[in-house]
Chain A
Amino acid sequence: MWIYEKKLQYPVKIKNPNANYAKIIISQLGGADGELAASMRYLHQRYSMPYKEVVGILTDVGTEELAHLEMISAILYQLTKGLSSEEIKRSGLDTYFVDHTSGIYPVSAAGVPFDMKYVGIKGDVIADLNEDLAAEQKARVTYDNILRLVDDPDVRDPIKYLRQREIVHYQRFGDALRITQDKLNSKNFYAYNPAFD
């Protein structure tokens, strides 16, 4: 089971609200490579993982992704706090506002609601870990793209932290894949599926 800690993993303190930034950063909440997809991906892949080290990595990275989901929500909350109707209209956030007001609803920057179709659970260690490695790189690219579009240092700081965590997670999933391959037949990694056969 989970226990909630009443703190963010890394501080979010944004002085100036900005609807334009919220409109793009929301992709890391409900987009294909966002934090919700990441947490759901890892926390559900755990069950079919045959090696305890890999289960441990998935549990703990998946849990950290929930903390990142909260950080993104905190960024969105602070970026949209106290905006005027005029600012919302000008930024183009009005198409979100009309349905969700200033509620936090997981959608992509293009307004597509979160979908479990973004998450791959194949029930095969090598396939799932490669999905995870790719997912971390895709999330890193999204953060890089956000950093290209956002100037405010108050927003960039937690985004840079989150970008860095994607790189660390990629390294840890690399460990997981190496541990897995060490346990398999090096002449044919695909001889059997240790989660099923």
Chain B
Amino acid sequence: MILNEREKLLRQIQSEDFALYETVLFLDGHPHDEGALAFYRAHRDMLEKLKHEYTKKYGPLTIYDNQDEKCWHWIDKPLPWEKEAN
């Protein structure tokens, strides 16, 4: 499957998000694991960078990052459950 630029960036975000979430579940039960904490920091920083780039190019991922002063892009299509969004 050929992915466009947006889809490629979204895949990266989803994979970083997944790595982070896995770490979070582990850390909940092992709050002093320094290795897991280092992994968490690295992936959180990476995710932040990727989400910043995505938001700037393609619009908000959360209600807190609408950038346009003239329009509320939060409601724009495609919606997450539509094929075109994935």
| Size category, A interface | under 10
Which residues from A are CB-within-8-Å of B74?
56
* Chain B positions 15 through 45: 1 when the CB is less than 8 Å from some CB of chain A, otherwise 0: 0010000000000000000000000000000
Which residues from A are CB-within-8-Å of B76?
52
State in angstroms the CA–CA spacing of A163 and B59 once bound together: 33
* Chain B positions 49 through 86: 1 when the CB is less than 8 Å from some CB of chain A, otherwise 0: 00000000000001100000000001111011100000
* Chain A positions 31 through 68: 1 when the CB is less than 8 Å from some CB of chain B, otherwise 0: 00000000000000011000011011000100000000
Q: Output the nearest chain B residue to A63 by Cβ-Cβ distance.
A: B63
State in angstroms the CA–CA spacing of A1 and B86 once bound together: 13
Given known contacts A52-B75, A56-B74, is B63 in contact with A47 (CB within 8 Å)?
Answer: no
- B63's partner among A1, A46, A55, A60 (CB-CB below 8 A) is A60
- Number of residues on chain B facing chain A (CB within 8 A): 10
State in angstroms the CA–CA spacing of A19 and B74 once bound together: 42
Which residues from B are CB-within-8-Å of A55?
75, 79
Flag if B75 contacts A56 (CB, 8 Å). Answer: yes
Q: Output the nearest chain B residue to A57 by Cβ-Cβ distance.
A: B75
Flag if A47 contacts B77 (CB, 8 Å). Answer: no
State in angstroms the CA–CA spacing of A52 and B80 once bound together: 12
Q: Which of A1-35 contact B (CB under 8 A)?
A: 1, 3
Flag if B75 contacts A3 (CB, 8 Å). Answer: no
Q: Output the nearest chain A residue to B79 by Cβ-Cβ distance.
A: A55
Flag if A47 contacts B81 (CB, 8 Å). Answer: yes
Q: Output the nearest chain B residue to A47 by Cβ-Cβ distance.
A: B81
In the complex, besides A52-B76, A53-B75, 13 extra interface pairs with C-beta distance below 8 angstroms are A1-B17, A1-B80, A3-B62, A46-B79, A47-B81, A52-B75, A52-B77, A52-B79, A55-B75, A55-B79, A56-B74, A56-B75, A60-B63
> What is B's interface to A at a CB cutoff of 8 Å?
17, 62-63, 74-77, 79-81
List 15 A–B pairs whose Cβ atoms lie within 8 Å, in order of A's numbering.
A1-B17, A1-B80, A3-B62, A46-B79, A47-B81, A52-B75, A52-B76, A52-B77, A52-B79, A53-B75, A55-B75, A55-B79, A56-B74, A56-B75, A60-B63
